[in-house]
Amino acid sequence: MSITRLSHDASQVGIPEAGIPVPAIPASRPSETPSFEEPSLLWRRLLLAVPTLVTAAAIAWLAVSAYGRPDGALGWAVLVLFGLVMAWQSFVAWQYVYGLVATGFGDAAKSAIEIRSATVPATASGLSRTAAVVAIHAEDAVAVFAALRVMARSLQRGGGDGSDIDVFVLSDTRDGAIAAVEEHEFARIEAWARLNGPGLPRFRYRRRQDNAGRKAGNIAEFCKSYGSEYDFMIVLDADSLMTGATMRRLARLMEEAPKVGLIQTVSYATGRDTLFARIQQFAVRLYAPLSIRCLETWQGADGSYWGHNAILRVAAFADNAELPLLPGKAPLGGEILCHDIVEGALLRRAGWEVCLLPEMGGTWEEMPTNLVDLLGRERRWCQGNMQHLRVTTLPGLRAASRWHLIVGILSYLACPLWVLFLAAASIQAAVTGDLGLLAYGLTGTGLAAHALAALVVTVMALPKLLSLGHVLASPARRAAFGGTASLLKSAVLEQIVWVLLWPVMTVFAAGAVATTFLGRVVRWDSQVRDDRQVPWSEAIRLQVDALVAGALLAGLLVYAGDPWLALWMGPVALALLTSPAFSVLTSRADLGRASQRNRLFLSIDDTDRAPELLDLASVRRGEERGKPARQDVWTAAEAEISAPR
């Protein structure tokens, strides 16, 4: 078996198998041998599934034991809804337990390709060519090309002549004025590349006239038109950033593992200064690693595609990942909106391995900088995930791929279940004067009620407590968050924010699920990525559902006149009623920067910033780190953009 170079500028070169430094990663075609992950995967999955089911069953049994069989429809509704939401929370909790245990096993729990990723050279081998593709649609072209300059400079610092990776901007922009800015920025970056010497990648720009299929169609058209020139493509979003070393390491891993069709990296949010963004960036860095370690451990080569900051084998993707058109009309039918996870499932169906590297590093993204924009993204993602109800029945999908789809669906369906449970249980408490299951058994009497309360509180608290303990146990991890004091203060404040944020997001997602099934079709527009302060009028208008829900709950609490019910549900009502104020205040960048000055919500991207993050900040200020911007570069670019094309 050999690796074949497909480069358009070189003859095909066969590389003997002996030249591959890691024989543990097989060099056969996908259909020729089973996945190297399969023997242990069943047990790994059972170790997650069985404790989840046992815990969910134990909670349901204790609920019945503590409060007896319910009388009437309302009582049954509360019990059933309580059992369903606790089953979901049990699954979430056990992911963190599983992730912590897997982390403790070290390399023994890691895949061969992840172990190899720690030592694979970050230099070009000369055996393949890669396109780093950025699909954009009406984005801020200045910001996009600023990030491309940073990535190009990072590739240049890694050595080589730059011929191994091309940077490709794939535009789906329909607005002529925005497209003109894109062309202008492309001319500027070409002029910059000529001025800054050898070793930079080649930049290419293509704008589609027909943007059918949105981003998925954009990438598919690239594969059709340019795919024969490249072995691999690194798919990036408009807000993605990846180091040159990570790009080349990914390409080397793909060369060494010809059964792998896709490698997904974990890109952490960074780079934004609003208070909301800084809190979320901190929270993701703190709480995501254990759950991601769990995911990688049980899924093995049955991974999923997250749509960006991943490397794909071009031929495999082009041949196997064409999206079906779902039956029926939007919102549940038609073009698939959340296409990435489906494309990963189709790759896996064809026999290609889809792998996840939780600790690759050198890969980032940005996130919505305020609650209003985050809720807008959630509405789009909700419709996309609800469409997957029809994707799960596609023939030939692997069980793990179907489960990835189902988990996404359940993550949104859990929200209306929570809303219904809280509403029904609050009404029941107002009528009976007993909080019952609404308080998880905390106000109950007897051994069963005490056991129920202990188990439920443990399930609810485990994800954050385990994540915090995992960081505190390591001096290096503590230092990455600014030290123990900074970490603990930030974690406490983040929890307070979460108490205010969770009801708003849950009510909103519940409404998004309901309106999707009622036929509402969302617009899939480009995201607002910049720091921006949300005006009061926008916050009130877009969060009216939270205000209505808060007013109804507050009215119920006043009507009931029960101090214990008011104490328990009052924070929920307060969070809903103050949600516009929360949106406005946390969207302020000055408060975010003040928190950073006071060493709050720090992460490794603050305490040990990568050169690429420093470069990006400098480029956005108009100069490269250590090198002032050259006006002649922009003058040359202006001349080019004005010339006939």
Reduce the secondary structure of 111-163 to three states and give it as a string. Answer: CHHHHHHCCCCCCCCCCCCEEEEEEECCCCHHHHHHHHHHHHHHHHHCCCCCC
Q: Does any domain span residue 278?
A: no
CA atoms within 13 A on the CB side of 526: 20
Q: Does any domain span residue 195?
A: no
Q: Could you tell me whether strands 268-269 and 363-365 are parallel, antiparallel, or unpaired per DSSP bridges?
A: parallel
Kindly list the distances between the CA atom of residue 243 and the CA atoms of 193, 260, 475, in Å, as whole numbers in the listed order.
Answer: 17, 22, 26
Q: What is the pLDDT of residue 620?
A: 76
Q: What is the pLDDT of residue 628?
A: 46
> For 275-393, where are the E strands, in sequence order?
310-313, 353-357, 363-365
Q: What is the pLDDT of residue 32?
A: 46
Q: Does any domain span residue 484?
A: yes
Q: Does any domain span residue 380?
A: yes
The helix/strand/coil state of 205 is strand
- What is the identity of the amino acid at 106? G
Q: Does any domain span residue 469?
A: yes
Q: Quick check: bond before 331 cis, omega within 30?
A: yes
**β-pair partners for 84:** none
147: exposed, middle or buried (Cβ count in 10 Å: 0-12, 13-18, 19+): buried
CA dist., res. 241 & res. 270, Å (int): 10
The helix/strand/coil state of 34 is coil
- Give the domain range for residue 380: 35-106+373-608
The series of mean pLDDT values per 10 residues for the chain, 645 residues long, is 34 31 38 48 94 98 96 96 98 98 95 95 95 94 94 94 95 92 95 92 93 89 94 96 97 96 96 95 97 96 96 96 92 93 97 96 94 94 96 95 97 98 97 95 94 98 98 97 98 97 97 95 76 94 96 97 96 97 97 97 96 90 51 45 43
In what helix (H) or strand (E) does residue 14 lie, and over which residues does it extend?
Answer: strand 14-16
Q: Does any domain span residue 13?
A: no
Q: What is the pLDDT of residue 523?
A: 77
CA dist., res. 407 & res. 357, Å (int): 20
Q: Does any domain span residue 253?
A: no
Strand order in the sheet with 241-242: 241-242, 363-365, 268-269
Kindly list the distances between the CA atom of residue 73 and the CA atoms of 79, 212, 552, in Å, as whole numbers in the listed order.
Answer: 10, 49, 22
Domain count, the chain: 1
Q: What is the pLDDT of residue 631?
A: 44
Q: Does any domain span residue 384?
A: yes
